[in-house]
Chain A
Amino acid sequence: MRYLDLDIKTINEKLKAKEIKPIDLVNEAFERIEKTNLNCFITLNKENAIKKALDLENKEVDNLLFGLPIAIKDNILTKNLKTTAASHILDDFIPIYDATVIKKINEKNMIIIGKTNMDEFAMGSTGETSYFKNTLNPWNKEVIPGGSSSGSASCVAARITPFSLGTDTGGSIRQPASFCGLVGLKPTYGRVSRYGVIAFASSLDQVGPITRNVYENALLLNAISGYDKNDLTSSKEVVPDFTALIGKNIKDLKIAVPNYYMSEVIDSEIRQNVSKIITLLKENGCTVDYIDIDYLEYAIPLYQVIALGEASSNLARYDGVRYGLKIDNYQNIDDLYKNTRTEGFGSEVKRRIMIGSYILSGENAQNYYYKALKVRKAMTDSFKDVLEKYDLIIGPTNTDVAYKLGTKQDDALKSFYDDLLTIPVNMAGLPALSLPIGFKNNLPIGMHIIGNYFEEDKIYQLASFIEKKLNLNTEPKEVE
């Protein structure tokens, strides 16, 4: 038995009672990393984590997250701790400042265990585009853990740390959480500061928590939320206690199910599992209606235009001039750019930069980018209409469970389809969570709960109800 396998409240009581110390938790985390072989981490923070744990022994245990290990996706900047975005171009980059979310984590005295593996620059949904090789799924080492927050999901699934932070641009928290049997939430756009997060698509990116259960997810969201003067897109909306509605009666909740989310594009076994939940909710007093949301079927082209357009600009700064990889063999400035970026970026990143640059070039900007902004607005309005009448929207997180490693490497378009159901949420800027609701071939199935703007608390209310009713064992067997 490990202390880290206990629930957070119990660990907290034991810390308060000095029955255990933060160093015990840190040691357990590193022991587990050594025993598992999942390639979850790019950089370990062992020395500092131990030092921090020892320092904390003299401090009062003043919050539920105190002294708890957390893993951070490697596109979130940590001062003096290497941050690579899983790219060769940043493989020796040591940030000189902390992201705002890291400051908040530190304020709670959580202990950063390491920086997790991911798809390069968060571009991918399998973990396979990482310069540091792919991450493994603790449920089955032959299948993908999902991505791009692959290490952050794999490490919590393997119970190395109870918490991790991921980022979600088109599904990068919810899809790996779903494939690894975890709870993962993408907050409302603006709920969490993006300052210090390596930008992929600025109008879509959000940082969010990945955890073993719903309650712990809400706790971590409490810690990282809030307005940040360094991020003009962050919201001044009041941050409530996200755990407040957990355990509250769900009777009278009005729930919508988009027809598209239960259509033929989704695997039938997944749909059956979601249907069972719908029945359960109806039995417990919820209204559940099937509805339509406009333009959902355009999610992928929309994503390719908007996300990749923004990405092509956001990744321009990696040019070999000021930091990161620099290929020294050059005759002129164009050679420096060309050689550095040719060698520094992986093929998926290059492909996306090229598509994005094409989309914004000359007349294409009007034909693609500005048109996409209009479709995005229309889709968002359609979501808003539905959420005026309903509290929450549910459906599956993904079209199927995790698939075999290497499956989609030969098809650049196919991997986008993993995000078919998650992308629309980023486009609308809404909050959404993935929750394990069952298994197919011993692999977890995720359910998607989408809420109205800044109503993450209501998402947790419903999710915790389902979690409690199902009472699934979501810990993978024989991780080690």
Chain B
Amino acid sequence: MKPTIGIEVHVELKSMAKAFSLSKNNFNDEVNSNINVIDLGHPGVLPRVNKGVIDMALKACLALNFKINRLMHFDRKNYFYPDLPKGYQITQQDTPIGYDGYVEVSNKKIYLERMHIEEDTCKSIHTTDTLLNFNRSGVPLIEIVTKPCIESGAEAMEYLEKLRETLLYLGISDVKIEEGSMRCDVNVSVSDSDKLGTKCEVKNIGSISNVGLAIDYEIKRQEELIKKGGKIVPQTRRFDDKTKTTILMRYKETGNDYRYFPEPDIPFIYIDDEWLKNISDNMPVLTDELKNKYVSLGINSNNIKTIIANRNICNFLEEVIEDVNPVIASNLLTGDILSYLNKNIIKIEDTKLTKNNFIKLVNLLDKKTISSKQAKEIINIILEDEKDVLEIVKENNLEQISDDSLILDIVTKVIKNNPDSVKDFKDGKDRAIKYLMGQIMKESKGQINPNLANEALIRELSKY
């Protein structure tokens, strides 16, 4: 039996103003503070169009390989619900801004049917009464719909990760599925023939991994039902996080009647070449390009994954990458620095770490002037203090001894003071080297470059 999956994703755009009014687009401000007569659907109001929202949608179109409806309009989707103040939602039905796009995941293309712009509803809070927060009313959304071309939960997760990553790097959304700035609905059907099976929808799944679980559960549920000779009835289900199963919410009514028609209050919008060029000229570097670059720079794949997943760290790396050894820099960022950030639950820009200090530190390590153990100590200091790395090294006498003549002095002195060990060495007892190295480290107060010291020791011993 073959499963077929389609995914609809709603993404909140982080524009300054709302889609069709000048209210601030910030849901988290005090309840019902970012509202005006347009958001409240007062009599006589007319929508304005936020060009910034169209710009953001165009960026997403280009990044997701969509064709663009150059002459587009908005439509009204009519239905009654308390969270919908005008009794209709302004959306795009006939002319979605993007159509026929695709996203590349590991070994296939996920084809995208359409992407359109629409406005969010206000937020209902159900207590004994239903309360409405209009801060969300009119917040811009893009909806991205795949073709029914996904075949497993794992593939769906890979698509969603890629989509999330792309939109995050475009800088147009927070894409936080847990906070609702990214919302996923999946349609799953299973068929034992060439024809598509009957689809069931699972709505509003709370995380990408749960999307995978929901799909796999749903495939299994439908397959078992078909094997038993049962019939799939179109329905809307939800994912239950505790049991990791999907639960029936309601059966689909046939033909939801939204009475779509073109929004007469907004004239058609033409996206001309100049507008589009302006968008494409200002596209940020996206993750595929970054990954390829990091591979060519020799950064290992685990580190690349970690860097891409942490956009702030990636931004930091991008700003210093010309001036440092990228491998050492990525090791520091994904190692000690990231664990410090995670431990303290802060972002890299919330620390005292400066690019300048970071560059100096990496270069000291690169030239083996300091050891990685010493680097670790310095990192802990410069994350909390803007003090110059070179000063810290000097003050704490952290500089490694790498000078050949200094090393030779120490090695010669230790050999002279330990004739017994030299004899042991000549008798073929390997541990003598270890002992002598210990003495050398002790003599140098741990500051000697161990590799160089080791080389010098063997060289000197061989003279005996």
Task: Kindly report which residue of chain A lies nearest to residue B21, judged by CB atoms.
Answer: A230
A276 within 8 A of B: no
The reply to whether A95 and B78 contact each other, CB–CB distance below 8 Å, is: no
The answer to the question of A298 belonging to the interface, with a C-beta cut-off of 8 Å to chain B, is no
Q: List 7 A-B contacts (CB under 8 A).
A: A83-B43, A198-B43, A310-B261, A313-B76, A316-B87, A323-B42, A360-B78
Q: Does A405 lie at the interface of the complex (its beta carbon under 8 Å from any beta carbon of B)?
A: no
Q: Bound state CA distance, A365 and B78, in angstroms? A: 13
**Bound-state Cα–Cα, A90 to B44, Å:** 13
**Interface membership of B40, Cβ < 8 A:** yes
Of B85, B260, B264, B265, the residue contacting A322 (CB under 8 A) is B85
Q: Judging by beta carbons under 8 Å apart, are B44 and A230 in contact?
A: no
Interface pair B259/A313, CB less than 8 Å apart:
yes
Which B residues are CB-close (under 8 A) to A323?
Answer: 42
Query: B-facing mask of A195-234, CB < 8 A → 1, else 0?
Result: 1111101110000000000000000000000000111110
Shortest Cβ distance from A193 into B: residue: B46
Q: Is there contact, CB below 8 Å, between A233 and B267?
A: yes
Contact assessment for B261 and A313 in the assembled complex, using a CB-CB cutoff below 8 Å: yes
Q: Find residues 27-65 in chain B having any chain A CB closer than 8 Å to their own CB.
A: 37, 40-49
Residues of A within 8 A of B265 (CB): 199, 202, 232-233
For the complex, give the distance between the alpha carbons of A361 and B259 in Å: 5
**Count of B interface residues, CB-CB < 8 Å:** 30
Inter-chain contact A230/B48, CB cutoff 8 Å: yes
The docked-state distance in angstroms from the alpha carbon of A90 to that of B42 is 11
Question: What are the 5 closest A-B residue pairs judged by CB atoms, nearest first?
Answer: A316-B87, A360-B259, A202-B264, A203-B264, A196-B44
- Minimum Cβ distance to chain B for residue A73 (Å): 12
A198-B43, A357-B259 given; A317·B87 CB < 8 A = yes
- Determine whether A380 belongs to the interface, using a CB cutoff of 8 Å to chain B: no
Chain B residues with Cβ below 8 Å from A239 are none
List the B side residues contacting A365 at CB < 8 Å: 259-261
A97 with B261: CB separation less than 8 A: no
Within residues 236 to 274 of chain B, which ones have a CB less than 8 A from any CB in chain A?
Answer: 255, 257, 259-261, 264-267
Q: Are A232 and B46 in contact (CB under 8 A)?
A: yes
Which A residues are in CB contact (< 8 Å) with B87? Answer: 313, 315-317, 319
- In the assembled complex, the Cα of A90 lies from the Cα of B76 at a distance in Å of 24
Q: Is the CB of B44 within 8 A of A317?
A: no
Contact A195 B44 (CB under 8 A): yes
With CB as the reference atom, state the residue of chain A lying closest to B47.
Answer: A232
**Interface bin, chain A:** 35 or more
How far does the Cβ of A59 sit from chain B's closest Cβ, in whole Å? 29
Contacts of B255 in A (CB 8 A): 362
Tell yes or no: A337 within 8 A of B by CB: yes
Instruction: Determine the distance from Cα of A323 to Cα of B37 in the docked complex, in whole angstroms.
Output: 12
**Complexed CA–CA distance, A232 and B50 (Å):** 12
Indicate whether A77 reaches chain B with its CB closer than 8 angstroms. yes
Q: How far is the CA of A209 from the CA of B455 in the complex (A)?
A: 100
Q: Which residues of A contact B261 (CB under 8 A)?
A: 309-310, 313, 360, 365, 369
Q: Is the CB of A199 within 8 A of B259?
A: no
Chain A nearest Cβ from B268, distance in angstroms: 11
B48 touches A337 (CB 8 A): no
Complexed CA–CA distance, A76 and B76 (Å): 23
Give every chain B residue within 8 A of A95 (Cβ-Cβ): 42-44
Contact of B82 among A195, A203, A333, A361 (CB under 8 A): A333
How many inter-chain contacts with C-beta < 8 Å in the A-B complex?
96
Chain A contacts for B257, CB-based, 8 A:
361-362
A 44-88 to B, binary, CB cutoff 8 A, 1 in contact else 0: 000000000000000000000000000000001100000101000
Q: A244 interface residue, CB < 8 Å from B?
A: no
The reply to whether the CB of A352 lies closer than 8 angstroms to some CB of chain B is no
Residues of A within 8 A of B76 (CB): 313
Contact partner, A317, options B47, B85, B259, B264, Cβ 8 Å: B85
Within 8 Å by CB of A199, from B44, B80, B81, lies B44
Partner of A77, one of B44, B48, B49, B78: B44
Q: Which of B48, B80, B266 has the most CB of A within 10 A?
A: B80
The complex places the Cα of A16 from the Cα of B324 at a distance, in Å, of 80
Contact between chains at B267 and A232 (CB < 8 Å):
yes
A231/B46 contact (C-beta < 8 A), A313-B259, A362-B255, A362-B257 known: yes
B203 interface residue, CB < 8 Å from A? no
Structural contact, B86 and A317, CB atoms closer than 8 A: yes
Contact A77 B85 (CB under 8 A): no
6 additional A-B residue pairs with CB within 8 Å, beyond A194-B46, A365-B261: A93-B43, A317-B87, A322-B85, A333-B81, A333-B82, A365-B259
- Decide yes or no whether B88 CB sits under 8 A from chain A: yes
Taking each of A85, A197, A232, which has the highest tally of chain B beta carbons within 10 Å of its own beta carbon? A232
- The closest CB in chain A to the CB of B78 belongs to A313
A157-200 near B? 1/0 per residue, CB < 8 Å: 00000000000000000000000000000000000001111110
Which residues of chain A come closer than 8 Å to B80, judged between CB atoms?
Answer: 316, 319, 337
Report the bound CA distance from A357 to B87 in whole Å.
13
Residues in A whose Cβ lies below 8 Å from that of B82: 319, 321, 333
Contact with A along B93-108 (1 / 0, CB 8 A): 0000000000000000
A99 at the interface (CB under 8 A from B): yes
User: Which of A197, A233, A313, A322 is within 8 Å of B40, CB to CB?
Assistant: A322
Given contacts A99-B44, A360-B259, A369-B261, contact A232 B85 (CB under 8 A): no
Which of A90, A312, A316 gathers the greatest number of chain B CB atoms within 10 Å? A316
B-side contacts of A6, CB under 8 Å: none
Out of A83, A201, A232, A310, name the residue touching B48 (CB < 8 Å). A232
The reply to whether the CB of A96 lies closer than 8 angstroms to some CB of chain B is yes
Closest to A316 in B: B87
Residues on B with beta carbons closer than 8 Å to the beta carbon of A321: 82, 85, 132
* Docked CA distance A316–B266 (Å): 18
Residues of B within 8 A of A194 (CB): 44, 46
Min distance, Cβ A472 to any Cβ of chain B, angstroms: 37
Contacts of A231 in B (CB 8 A): 46
Question: How close is B296's CB to chain A, nearest CB, in angstroms?
Answer: 49
B46 near A317 (CB under 8 angstroms)? no
Bound complex: CA A96 to CA B42 (Å): 9
A337 to B82, CA, bound (A): 10
Shortest Cβ distance from residue A385 to the other chain B in the assembled complex, whole angstroms: 23
State whether A97 touches B259 (Cβ < 8 A).
no
CB-defined contacts of A232 to chain B, threshold 8 Å:
46-49, 265-267
Residue in chain A with minimal CB distance to B80: A337
Nearest residue in A to B76 (C-beta to C-beta)? Answer: A313
Which residues does chain A contribute within 8 Å of B42, judged by CB atoms?
Answer: 95-97, 322-323
- Contact digits for B128-152, partner A, Cβ 8 Å, 1 yes 0 no: 0000100000000000000000000
Q: Please determine whether A317 and B41 come into contact, CB atoms closer than 8 angstroms.
A: yes
- Chain B residues within an 8 Å CB radius of A96: 37, 42
Q: B residues within 8 A CB of A312?
A: 78, 259
- Least distance between A331 CB and chain B CB atoms (Å): 14
Q: Which residues of A contact B266 (CB under 8 A)?
A: 232
Q: How far is the CB of A242 from chain B (nearest CB, A)?
A: 24
Check B40–A97 contact: CB distance below 8 A.
no
Judge whether B46 and A97 touch: CB under 8 Å.
Answer: no
A256 CB to nearest B CB, Å:
29
Nearest CB on B from A121, distance (A): 10
Q: Please give me the residue from chain A that is nearest to B94 by CB atom.
A: A370
In Å, the complex CA distance between A232 and B20 comes to 11
The B249-305 residues at the A interface (CB cut-off 8 A) are 255, 257, 259-261, 264-267
B44 in complex: contacting residue of A198, A201, A337, CB < 8 Å: A198
Contacts of B48 in A (CB 8 A): 229-230, 232
A322 touches B41 (CB 8 A): yes
In the assembled complex, the Cα of A96 lies from the Cα of B76 at a distance in Å of 25
B407 → A minimal CB distance (Å): 76
Residues of chain A within 8 A (CB-CB) of B88 are 313, 316
